[in-house]
Amino acid sequence: MEEEQKPRIIENPVNLQYRSEQEEERKTQRKENFFRRMKRFGIECKRVLKVTKKPDGKEFKLVVKISAIGMAIIGIVGFIMSFLKEIIF
Tens-level pLDDT at each residue, the chain (89 residues): 555 666 665 655 556 566 677 777 787 777 778 888 899 999 999 999 999 988 999 999 999 999 999 999 999 999 999 999 999 87
Q: What is the pTM of this model?
A: 0.45
According to the model, what pLDDT value does residue 13 have? 59
Domain boundaries, the chain: 11-52, 55-89
According to the model, what pLDDT value does residue 33 have? 82
Ramachandran bin of 32, using left for φ above 0, alpha for ψ from -120 to 50, beta for the remaining angles: alpha
Q: Please tell me the distance from the alpha carbon of residue 60 to that of residue 66, in angstroms, as a whole number.
A: 10
Q: CA 60 from chain center: how many Å? A: 30
According to the model, what pLDDT value does residue 16 have? 59
According to the model, what pLDDT value does residue 84 have? 94
Q: Please tell me the distance from the alpha carbon of residue 40 to that of residue 4, in angstroms, as a whole number.
A: 56
